Amino acid sequence: MKTMYEEPPVTAPRSAGEPVVEMRDISITFGSVRALDNVSLRLLPGEVHALMGENGAGKSTLIKALTGVYSIDSGTILVGGEDHRFSTPAAAQAAGISTVYQEVNLVPNLTVAENMLLGREPRRFGGIDVRAMNRRARSTLERLGLDIDPRSTLGDHPIAVQQLVAIARAVDVEARVLILDEPTSSLDTDEVVKLFEVMRRLRDTGVAVVFVSHFLDQIYEIADRMTILRNGRLVEERMVAATTQLELVKLMIGRELEVLDRLDRQRARTHEDAVPVLQAIGLSRKGSLEATDLSLYDGEVVGVAGLLGSGRTELARLLFGADTADHGSLEIRSHRRRLRSPRHAIDRKVAFSSEDRKAEGVIGDLSVADNMLLALQASRGWLRPIPQATRNRLVAEYIEALDIRPADPQALMRNLSGGNQQKVLLARWLITEPDVLILDEPTRGIDIGAKAQIQAKVAELAERGMSVVFISAELEEVLRLSDRVVVMRDRRKIAERRNEGVSISDVLEIIAGESRAEESPHD
Amino acid sequence: MTDTLHPRNPPTPPSPPAAGRPDAVPPSRPGVASRVLANPLLWPVLALVALLVVNVSATPSFLDVRIQDGHLYGNVVDIARNSAPVLLVALGMTLVIATRGIDLSVGAIAAIAGAVACTRIVGAGDEGAATTAIMACTIALAMCVLLGLWNGFLVSVIGIQPIIATLVLMVAGRGLAMLVTDGQITTVHNDAFSDLASGYVLGLPLAFLVALAMVAVTAVLTRRTALGMLIEAVGINPEASRLAGVRSRTIIWTVYVFGAVCAGLAGLIIAANTNSVNANSLGLWIELDAILAVVIGGTALTGGRFSLLGTVVGALFITTLARTIPNIGIPSEANYLFKAVVVVAVCLIQSPRARSVLRVRRPAPAALTAPKGSHA
């Protein structure tokens, strides 16, 4: 098992042509966090280059270092062989490096042509030469094989077309490098095909295209070369054709070096005729999850594995009503329910702790006690405050049970460390005594001690009869805790296994799509 | 449990004495001086005191209070009495601002309340009776509840930005008040009604007592129930609150209704003060004074934690400021300019960044930061 994680030495495949951009030994530090640590990147003309890595690997930071959004602490950036350091994105663009971000940042109520030439409109008699502008926009669009009327209003087009206009805008300035940061995340299949056509055309004219995407199939379809990052470090540069999906997934996920305490726990028994506490049938939502079935039983931990963007978070949000499903149905204790809001789910004893602790969990300016009691208080309504004695008892109990530091109920939440904040959020939901507890990345970015405590708590809760959905990017953790493992990929569930003799490499293979096993839920 | 969980962890380095034992005595509190310095009320109170000092040096008898006919008289009593409308409006505004909102329509609502009450009194069979006044005020306040529901509907259900949503009523509300009064200045003769502004109870101005009572009601409403905590949660992090199951729609609706009722009460007091209502001028720009009072009191316009006591101090400050201008002999033409300068100065003093530039030192809240070693 150990050998599969050993990383071969960096082999830089040679191909024709001098790199148009070469970044060497780039380091960036934010406060005490090393966001990039001696990372190098080469972009060759006429290639699609994929930038790969999980959350926090440093992809966006690297792009922002190249385009002048962040200034680098050390390292060199060569553009066309010359040393460059861009202080603004505009300077990078002037040097031929254009970026299209995931969120289209154009002006919806201007026309397509106006958007494409915004800030560099052709002038005539002191005003804008509208006809010249439309002509130029039309020729650029035609060059990309796009049939879009330059005079139409941008906002009237679907997002996919707006994205293509953003690309057209980016290449209108004689781009030598075009960076596409997750351009496909909100597109459907046909739209992706169109986008790829445009990307190929650009590549064939000698542009170096940088492509960031979480969809492995898309990488294999369009990319020639890739650079893999992990935790702010360069793992390897590779040719896509020479790398199997399994190798790629291993390189991206890597492995946590530390060994956590083993959790000896009684795995939940099979439940031939048990009634699921929560059952999803064909649950789907456009752009985030394809039809998915899932059954949860009392007293078991269901682990959800999959890469970022695989649909693991989207599934959790649909089960909780944080987003509403387009199709499919949910049954809670055999009653069909439509969850229109988190509140509906909470009233039915479903709890959900979001992966985005800061934006969707922590109420920073309130005390630890208030944060802990928020969900319970919310479900009681403001007219029925929790009695002081109960408050004190619950807060003291959970501060002790979860070992929250500082053990001061009145400390402000924002002054706690990530791990302690996560424990407070866990307590927030445990206090509501849910039947189903959905934890999305409950151990991400927290220190090892807190991690072990949270894992132990999850195991204990399941033993006491709670049904837990445990989502994590770390496979070790998923396998250590779960009774069943659900594997997601490309916004759908691709496998479900009882966690009996399932190894990390089995799961990796499923994620990489090499063993497309039939679903085998065994129940 | 904690012992069996991480046997491999090195022994925990020294942590605060209370760690792990919530019933234990918390770590030693900072001294009295640093606690006073860390109190967010310090600066508004200091600003108010400074203003009073300026007044006393201009007119040494400024703080004198005398008793006449069993009532208290004097500048300070006048300030208390005159502060009632701003204080009431600011009170409601505090809660609205805490939810990340703002209510620009309070001046118009005050005008409507005054207009409704006065026309009711004039149109009643017995114009002078106390019951007539009570009836009229009740109807006016009921009207305010409706107006608050409208504001809350636009903000929480339709989802219009608060500043735009309440701008609707700010403009339309004055028109509504004009409709009620037929565009005339309506004068009333009702002793019970005018007592609301100029009456005394236990030697103190009734208007001030009404405002104080409202402060007490609000304090109970927000701090004895969970309303205050939920308002703050919604104001600090709306998405996290939604995911925790907070019914933010109800909360937001409640604060706009409450704000409208407070504004209505203010409108009644203003109308009672002149025994008349002019729909064009009643409560004009009071929303701005109220917002200022809230900000001076230490509640941030970005929402979140709010301070009712701070708002009280802020409202007193603004009213005192209005008194100060004639008292220290500033020509009335420079009135607004002076006010602007003082407000900017007070806001700067309150800003931690401005203070650090001025090298005014303030101790860090040491009790809140956990020692490094305790992050298990």
Please give the pLDDT value at position A190: 77
One-letter amino acid identity for B121?
I
- The dihedral over CA atoms of B311, B315, B321, B326, expressed in degrees to the nearest 10, equals 180
Residue of A363, A398, A446 for testing the chain B interface, max B β-carbons within 10 Å: A363
> Residue A159: pLDDT above 50?
yes
Is the pLDDT assigned to residue A302 strictly greater than 70?
yes
Q: What percent of chain A has pLDDT over 90?
A: 42
Whether residue A7 is contained in a domain is answered as: yes
Find all residues with CB under 8 Å of A517, minimum gap 6, and list them. A495, A510
Q: Identify the closest residue of chain B to A400 by CA–CA distance.
A: B20
Residues A162 and A311 in one domain: no
Instruction: Decide if B242 and A341 are in contact by the 8 Å CB cutoff.
Output: yes
pLDDT band at B363 (very low <50, low <70, confident <90, very high): very low
* Residue where a domain stops, chosen among A253, A287, A304: A253
pLDDT at residue B371 greater than cutoff 50: no
Nearest Cα residue in chain B from A395: B22
B 140-159 residues with CB below 8 A of A? none
Buried b (16+ CB within 10 A) or exposed e, A410-438: ebbbebbbbbbbbbbbbbbbbbbebbbbb
What is the pTM for the complete model shown? 0.71
Predicted pLDDT at B365: 42
Residue A457 lies in a domain: yes
Report whether A267 contacts A448 (CB < 8 A). no
Number of domains into which chain A is organized: 2
Q: Is residue A300 within 8 Å of A462, Cβ to Cβ?
A: yes
A360–B19 CB contact, under 8 Å: no
- Is the CB of A403 less than 8 angstroms away from the CB of B2? yes
Q: Is residue A258 part of a domain?
A: no
- Asked whether the predicted pLDDT for residue A461 surpasses 60, the reply is yes
Residues of A in contact with B370 (CB under 8 A): 405-406, 411, 415-417, 420
B263 vs chain A: nearest CA distance in angstroms? 23
Q: Nearest residue of B to residue A264 by CA position? A: B5
Residue B251 distance to chain A (closest CA, Å): 9
- Regarding whether A450 and A335 lie in a shared domain, the answer is yes
Instruction: Please give the pLDDT value at position A490.
Output: 85
Given B5, B305, B370, which is nearest A365 (Cβ)?
Answer: B305
Give the least confident one: A226-240, A260-274, A380-394, B34-48: A260-274
Q: Round the average pLDDT of chain B to a whole number and report it.
A: 85
CATH number, position A290? 3.40.50.300
- Which residues from A are below 8 Å from B246, CB to CB? 374, 378
Angle subtended at Cα A61 by Cα A58 and Cα A66, rounded to the nearest 5 degrees: 125
Q: B78-121 pLDDT, tens per residue? A: 999 999 999 999 999 999 999 999 999 999 999 999 999 999 99
Domain span at residue A340?
278-512
Residue range A345-367, pLDDT digits in tens: 999 999 999 988 888 999 999 99
The band of A57, judged by pLDDT with boundaries at 50, 70 and 90, is confident
How far apart, in whole angstroms, are the C-alpha atoms of residue B30 and residue A180?
53
Which contiguous run of DSSP H or E holds residue A113? helix A112-116
Query: Which residues in chain A have Cβ-Cβ distances shorter than 8 Å to B375?
Result: 405, 417, 419-420, 447, 449-450
- CB contacts under 8 A, B 173-232 vs A, are 224-227, 229-230, 232
Which chain B residues contact residue A362 at CB under 8 A? 237, 240
Residues B236 and A101: their CA atoms lie apart, in Å, by: 28
A360 to B243: CB separation less than 8 angstroms, yes or no: yes
For A202, residues 6+ apart whose C-beta sits below 8 A from its C-beta are A144, A167, A171, A178, A209
- B15 neighbourhood in chain A, CB within 8 Å: 405-406
* Final residue belonging to a domain, choices A220, A253, A286: A253
Separation CA A47–CA A13 (nearest Å): 13
Q: How far off is chain B from A411, nearest CA to CA, in Å? A: 5
Q: Using 50, 70 and 90 to split pLDDT, how confident is the model at A55? A: low
Q: Extract the tokens encoding B41.
A: 């009320």
Question: What is the Cα Rg of chain B in Å?
Answer: 24
Separation between Cα atoms, residue B109 and residue B122, nearest integer Å: 20
Inter-chain touch A363–B236, beta carbons under 8 Å:
yes
Instruction: Give mean pLDDT, residues B280-303.
Output: 91
CA distance A283 to chain B (A): 20
Q: Output the pLDDT for position A5.
A: 42
Q: What is the pLDDT of residue A360?
A: 92
What CA dihedral angle connects A74, A78, A84 and A90, to 10 degrees?
-110
CB A454 within 8 A of CB A393: no
Cα separation, A293 vs A279, in Å, equals 7
- Mean pLDDT is lowest, of A13-27, A255-269, A405-419, for A255-269
**What pLDDT is attached to residue A255?**
54
Q: Min CA distance, A372 vs chain B (Å)?
A: 10
Q: Is A266 contained in some domain?
A: no
Nearest residue on chain B to A323, alpha-carbon basis: B243
Residue A10, Cβ neighbours under 10 Å: how many?
Answer: 11
Q: Are residues A233 and A362 in the same domain?
A: no
Which residue among B6, B236, B241 places its CB closest to the CB of A453? Answer: B6
pLDDT at A447: 66
Give the model's pLDDT for residue A186.
65
- How far does B19 lie from chain A, in Å, by closest CA? 5
Whether pLDDT at A150 is above 80: yes
Residues A198 and A296 in one domain: no
pLDDT recorded at residue B2: 36
**B23–A contact, CB cutoff 8 A:** yes
- The alpha carbon of residue B24 is apart from the nearest alpha carbon of chain A, in Å, by 10
Beta strand A82-83 pairing with A225-230: unpaired
Residue A265 belongs to a domain = no
pLDDT at A124 over 60: yes
* Residues A115 and A171 grouped into a single domain: yes
Using CA atoms, how far apart are residues A192 and A199, in angstroms rounded to an integer?
10
Please answer yes or no on whether B19 and A405 come within 8 Å at the CB atom.
yes
Under the banding of pLDDT at 50, 70 and 90, the label for residue A245 is: confident
Query: Are A106 and A165 contacting, i.e. CB atoms less than 8 angstroms apart?
Result: yes
Q: Is the confidence at residue A102, as pLDDT, over 90?
A: no
Give CA–CA dist B324/B342, Å, rounded: 11
Does A308 share its domain with A182?
no
Distance of residue A463 Cα from the nearest chain B Cα, in angstroms:
15
Residue A384 has pLDDT above 70, yes or no: yes
User: Do the Cβ atoms of A464 and A436 come closer than 8 Å?
Assistant: no
Given an 8 Å threshold on Cβ–Cβ distance, is A405 in contact with B236?
Answer: no
Q: C-alpha A72: how far from its chain's center? A: 25
Q: What backbone torsions phi and psi does residue A364 show, to the nearest 5 degrees?
A: -55, -40
- Which amino acid makes up residue B275? N
B304 chain-A contacts, CB cut-off 8 A = 365
Of residues A322, A381, A400, nearest to B20 (C-beta): A400
Residue A382 CB-density burial (10 A; 0-12 exposed, 13-18 middle, 19+ buried)? buried
CB A492 within 8 A of CB A304: no
Cβ atoms A350, A435 nearer than 8 A = yes
Instruction: Enumerate residues 215 to 244 of chain A having a beta carbon within 8 A of any beta carbon in chain B.
Output: none
The pair of structure tokens assigned to B349 is 């003093």
A383 touches chain B (CB under 8 A): yes
Residues A86 and A144 in one domain: yes
For the ranges A193-197, B68-72, B132-136, B344-348, the maximum mean pLDDT occurs at: B132-136
Q: What is the pLDDT of residue B29?
A: 52
Q: In this predicted structure, what is the pLDDT of residue B338?
A: 82
The CATH code of domain B73-329 reads 1.10.3470
Residue A519 domain flag: no
In-domain check, residue A518? no
Statement to judge: residues A183 and A302 lie in one domain? no
Residue B165 in this model has a pLDDT that exceeds 90: yes
C-alpha distances out from residue A290 to A283, A427, A512, Å: 7, 32, 18
Are both A504 and A384 inside the same structural domain? yes
A180 shares a domain with A305: no
For residues A304 and A237, membership in a common domain is answered with no
With pLDDT > 70 as the criterion, what percentage of chain A qualifies?
88
| CA closest to B254 among chain A residues | A382
Q: What is the mean pLDDT of residues A205-215?
A: 88
Residues of chain B above pLDDT 90, percent: 62
Q: Which amino acid is at A391?
A: R
Residue A521 inside a domain? The answer is: no
Same domain, A172 and A296: no
pLDDT tens, A318-353?
999 999 999 999 999 989 988 889 999 999 999 999
